[in-house]
Structure 1
């Protein structure tokens, strides 16, 4: 029967399909004369997707372990995994509980701190679908425990969760318009565009994963309006390409507010109140700028050649990320942790570089040198024993360092921005 290993295999094999569809979306957008991708934003989104999968390798012991224990010891019924009605009802129940998790992720600050990652992009495209949180595992699993208590087998839960997740990929696009009756029943591109918008009209609406019927039933539905086109992002913009900071920013802001709050009650409330709520004394002493929907998008100017460099380096890291997932069952925990740490720090260094900051140059140069030395010192890159692989990796990253140093002398011109590359 399907299990968590099957889920990993499916996600791994689905990755090329995701990227093929992203390429198709980019081509169709160009054919229509539209620009829906910006390189740094897309790299940031995809990097956050890589991080979420890295975290999932370690977190499944918590999430699936707790679920399996509850099914074995607390389930009210022993539901058969080979009955069609179990699968259909499981998918409906999972989507129902997903609706409430998703809604709570917009209404409870500590849950928003995890979910905000998915909303930070100021673009709306298929790469946004892969922009997932690395900290959702902390509390998100609680919402699905009723399925374990009802007796839905672990293998059923794993597969319907994957179906619900994969379905939501295609709705993250601006290139698919209204779909008539489909929009009234299912989560669709039109419905989900409204969900990602920061316009007053659309704020905190359309939470459904597969079915939009939950929103219609519980009063959280809004229809996309052509007279008020969605503007994407968050009301407190991230303004960074560092994926580690993207995961931490709301936690850090909330922690600071809790620290500054004078009343102990407020120190707790700041975590469970809706996003944006701040104790009166904290808001007075540490004011934040008002939300401006007309704000300029975050896009530090970069030489076009440096953008190409970033895309190539991210592609290499993406390949390593797939390799990491393939090793998840075979590499010792210490090796997996070391590999995960390398990938996280590498993605962060590349993100800071794409911000156009001088610190990013030195971090990236150090990353390239460390990667080359690590490949040679390990006599094989994480479970790869062929010496040629070590030398090839070292050579690629030495070449990358040489290119980076050359690009450091490349002047940034106002017309030489990444906005002209995609």
Structure 2
């Protein structure tokens, strides 16, 4: 598959990412000097996020052609054709965002998928560099946009819609922007996404939306930002090593699956939620001691 004709909006945006990171750092310093500190950046954490982003770009050079070929095969199988007019693009905007919602939600609710997505949540900081902390195993997302190809959307349109969604979500990874008034009802905003990245119990598994927040409101996964978010995982990994960040959860799954136990328990470590724990074996009741007979006096 020749990837030269596959739309790529991400690579040309890299200079913008760099400039915006510098501007955000400057804003954070100004806010700190004025007595309104942000969590800001640390050199090691930012470097780790940038390393994950660069790795994602490298993997994408090979993967995007495979994904495009898969969607193209599905597109050629279906007799449906949505065309490329304005109405098709409007419909695709909502359909793509709905696909992203379920992609994102499943990647939080099923451990196998979480192993790919946990990378994005592994930073204990929240800034624009966090947006670049992307997975090195994007293959888990392939099935979630397959329905769009089967509905007759051209793969080039699907890839373009995915890129637009990803670019939109870059700017919401910041503490420098507060609430945005009425837009909070419809759009995924920095406030909504701060809650999503928090490890506070009330925020866990909430606000999955990409561009729109309407799906969370519709499916009962919306939670407004009402208390200070504590960023990171419920059990942080405390490493800046990109390889460990990329694969630590896969390694943990393998360790759990290799532990002795029934097949259903081993499979549960893969397909249940990330927080699932295997039940502890029930303690056997202690045997009742046999009374010692006493001899007659």
* TM-score, scaled relative to structure 2: 0.89
Work out whether 1:64 is the aligned partner of 2:63: no
Ranges of 4+ aligned residues in structure 1 off by more than 3 Å: 3-8
1:136 Cα deviation after fit: 2.5
- Helix, strand or coil at the partner of 1:224: coil
1:6 Cα deviation after fit: 5.5
- Helix, strand or coil at the partner of 2:10: helix
CA RMSD of aligned residues (A): 1.5
Partner of 2:254: 255
C-alpha distance in structure 2 between counterparts of 1:277 and 1:17, whole Å: 40
C-alpha distance in structure 2 between counterparts of 1:133 and 1:105, whole Å: 12
Partner of 1:171: 172
Matching of residues 146-295 of structure 1 within 5 Å: 146-225=147-226, 228-281=227-280
Q: Residue 127 of structure 2 contacts residue 175 of structure 2 at CA under 8 Å; is this kept in 1? A: yes
**Which structure has the larger Rg?**
2
1:262 Cα deviation after fit: 0.9
Structure whose residues are more often helix by fraction = 1
Unaligned runs of 5+ in 1: 285-422
1:281 Cα deviation after fit: 4.4
C-alpha distance in structure 1 between counterparts of 2:158 and 2:233, whole Å: 31
Matching of residues 19-418 of structure 1 within 5 Å: 19-33=18-32, 34=37, 35-73=39-77, 75-81=78-84, 83-137=85-139, 139-225=140-226, 228-281=227-280
- Helix, strand or coil at the partner of 2:156: helix
Closer, same or farther: CA 50–5 of 1 in aligned 2, 3 Å: farther
The Cα offsets for residues 242-280 of structure 1, whole Å up to 9 and x where unpaired, read as 111111111110111111041111111110100021212
Partner of 1:380: none
Aligned residues: 275
1:62 Cα deviation after fit: 2.4
1:236 Cα deviation after fit: 2.1
C-alpha distance in structure 1 between counterparts of 2:63 and 2:6, whole Å: 16
The Cα offsets for residues 50-71 of structure 1, whole Å up to 9 and x where unpaired, read as 1111111111232111100000
C-alpha distance in structure 1 between counterparts of 2:265 and 2:50, whole Å: 36
Unaligned runs of 5+ in 2: 284-297
Q: Larger RCO: Structure 1 or Structure 2 (Cα < 8 Å, ≥ 6 residues apart)?
A: 2
1:5 Cα deviation after fit: 4.3
Closer, same or farther: CA 6–148 of 1 in aligned 2, 3 Å: closer
The Cα offsets for residues 332-374 of structure 1, whole Å up to 9 and x where unpaired, read as xxxxxxxxxxxxxxxxxxxxxxxxxxxxxxxxxxxxxxxxxxx
* TM-score, scaled relative to structure 1: 0.63
- Helix, strand or coil at the partner of 2:161: helix
Q: Residue 206 of structure 1 contacts residue 215 of structure 1 at CA under 8 Å; is this kept in 2? A: yes
Partner of 1:296: none
